[in-house]
Amino acid sequence: MKATRALVICALSIAAILMTVFCVQSVTTPIKFENTRAEREVAVIKHLVDLRTAEVEFHHQNGRFTANHDSLLLFLKTAPKKEVMKEGSLTDKQLEAGLTEPKAIKILNEAKKKALKKNSFEDNDALYAYIWENDAEVKKNGLQGFRRDTIELNMLQALYKGEFDETTIDAIVEIPFSNGQRFELEVNNDYKTSQGIRVPLFEARAPFESYLGDLNKQELVNLIDREQKLEHYPGLKVGDVFSPNNNAGNWE
């Protein structure tokens, strides 16, 4: 009897310990999952923002978005980034007289063409100094000191300020913590508004399974289920191929 009683007490003690462990885990597991999720999503969002920057520039230069990761990376590595360097601005009096920025640039470009036919110049500074001083149309419109030059910059330097180079830029198409999975890219370059205006659209996605797949499976299933019931995308994404949203992220 004593042995049986001891066994019962031992079994009850073990059951109590197991219950305690299960209770603690039921509280700590969701907390640990959410903390890890929050940490990882900081990195995923950073990549999505960098990817959006690349897609927007691709669209700016090509009039469309791309769903091809390799084409986007090649563009970032090889295409130049054109920027307009500005010096001087139009006065209210000039604007009231009907002089606009495009008209002023056209006058300058015509003046530069005429000057280059007559003379050679050491650099653009010398060219501008000449037309400001000698071109009648430039002087008539008061464009002395007004200058617009299109220059070509390194794409990666211009967009990411030295954060990436040709050897590291491939990382922006890969989802962090996913063991090398790439972001899902989708485009709709033929979307038209109700007014018939063509507005190319793109979407970049990272499903929860890609960067949280190695965590607690039940917590992941619960998270996906909650988002789907709310009719939310179960993951992180930027842009929308069904409706223009200014390429916003679903966390913004």
Domain ranges, ordered by start, for the chain: 32-79+164-239, 89-145
β-pairing, 184-188 vs 201-207, is antiparallel
Quick one: DSSP state of residue 192? B
Query: In a 3-state reduction of DSSP, which class is residue 80?
Result: strand
Using alpha carbons, select from 229, 230, 227 the residue that is nearest to residue 205. Answer: 227
Work out the average pLDDT over 129-152: 94
Query: In a 3-state reduction of DSSP, which class is residue 84?
Result: strand
Predicted pLDDT of residue 113: 95
d(CA 238, CA 35): 22
Query: In a 3-state reduction of DSSP, which class is residue 48?
Result: helix
pLDDT: is 136 or 21 the higher one?
136
pLDDT: is 3 or 64 the higher one?
64
Predicted pLDDT of residue 29: 81
d(CA 203, CA 205): 7
- What is the b/e burial string over 118-138, where b = at least 16 CB atoms within 10 angstroms of the residue's CB? eeeeeeeeebbebbbeebeeb
Segment 176-228, tens digit of pLDDT: 999 999 999 999 999 999 999 999 999 999 999 999 999 999 999 999 999 99
First to last CA, the chain: 68
Name the pTM for this structure.
Answer: 0.77
Predicted pLDDT of residue 84: 87
Q: Write the single-letter amino acid at 14.
A: I
List phi, psi (to 5°) of 184.
-75, 125
Predicted pLDDT of residue 63: 96
